[in-house]
């Protein structure tokens, strides 16, 4: 959440969309600072859990990122955490995020990169287990976002320390328990961000984070 706090400027009347929200962990946290947060995911199981733990101003439903069922210019902020790399048509999904975001609205996305993991065996396991369509580099995620009109403000690899790879490998061992995985991921993420500060290599990481704006029309 430190990347959220550092870059997202959330106002009390903002409407936020969480694309591929999982069980709603990030949506519920952001709901404390916004008017409402809407999240959708392809998984019925994830949405069932999300609705069980949801806040009063969070709303969850099953949906497809390639056909977002909201009008143009509906949201002040759109987020998508480690999801775009799983989409069959990432470019169409990104275009949909752009469409539903208001002019001047904020986008915050993270994508899997795994550039600092040297094990081909683990990367192949991760790709198959997590149904990853493609891994991103700073250059490729920038290209896809700018192609639809987003103005990149910040783009950076995160989870760059060697310890991050170890934490990542353990996380995938517990993915079959969504609630445990979600809680562990939040704690591990905070710890690895602290360790990142002491890493000498900041050019590659497990994840790439991007903060962008939809330029005003």
Instruction: Judge whether 183 lies within some domain.
Output: no
Instruction: Judge whether 186 lies within some domain.
Output: no
Instruction: Judge whether 192 lies within some domain.
Output: no
Q: Are strands 15-19 and 36-41 parallel, antiparallel or unpaired?
A: parallel
164-184, pLDDT tens digit by residue? 767 776 776 777 777 777 777
Kindly report the pTM of this predicted structure.
Answer: 0.84
Domain that holds residue 155: 2-114+132-160+201-214
Instruction: Judge whether 168 lies within some domain.
Output: no
Burial of 7 (0-12, 13-18, 19+ CB in 10 A): middle
109-122 burial code (b ≥16 CB/10 A, e <16): bbbbbbbbbeeeee
Instruction: Judge whether 189 lies within some domain.
Output: no
Number of folded domains that form the chain:
1
Instruction: Judge whether 39 lies within some domain.
Output: yes
Going by C-alpha positions, the residue among 114, 113, 76, 107 that lies closest to residue 93 is 107
Instruction: Judge whether 187 lies within some domain.
Output: no
Question: One digit per residue, pLDDT tens: the chain, 217 residues?
Answer: 567 788 899 999 999 999 999 999 999 999 999 999 999 999 999 999 999 999 999 999 999 999 999 999 999 999 999 999 999 999 999 999 999 999 999 999 999 988 767 667 778 877 887 788 999 999 999 999 999 999 999 998 887 776 776 777 677 677 777 777 777 777 776 777 777 676 655 667 788 999 999 987 6
Instruction: Judge whether 193 lies within some domain.
Output: no
CATH number at residue 93: 3.40.50.150
End-to-end CA distance of the chain: 30
């Amino acid at each position: 959440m430190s990347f959220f706090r550092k870059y997202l400027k959330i106002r009390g009347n903002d409407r936020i969309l969480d694309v591929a929200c999982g069980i709603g962990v990030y949506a519920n946290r952001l709901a404390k600072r916004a008017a409402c947060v809407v999240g959708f995911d392809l998984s019925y199981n994830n949405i069932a859990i999300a609705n069980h733990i949801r806040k009063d101003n969070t709303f969850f439903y099953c949906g497809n990122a390639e056909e977002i069922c909201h009008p143009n210019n509906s949201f002040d902020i759109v987020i998508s955490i480690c999801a775009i790399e799983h989409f069959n048509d990432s470019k169409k999904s990104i275009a949909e995020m752009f469409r539903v975001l208001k002019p001047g609205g904020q986008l915050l996305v993270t994508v899997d990169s795994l550039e600092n993991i040297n094990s081909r065996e683990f990367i192949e396991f991760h790709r198959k287990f997590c149904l990853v369509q493609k891994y991103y580099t700073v250059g490729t995620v920038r290209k896809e976002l700018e192609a639809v009109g987003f103005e990149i403000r910040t783009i950076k690899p995160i989870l760059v320390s060697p310890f991050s790879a170890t934490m990542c490998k353990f996380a995938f061992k517990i993915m079959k328990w969504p609630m445990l995985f979600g809680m562990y991921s939040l704690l591990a993420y905070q710890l690895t961000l602290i360790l990142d500060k002491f890493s000498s290599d900041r050019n590659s990481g497990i994840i790439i984070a991007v903060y962008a704006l939809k330029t005003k029309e």
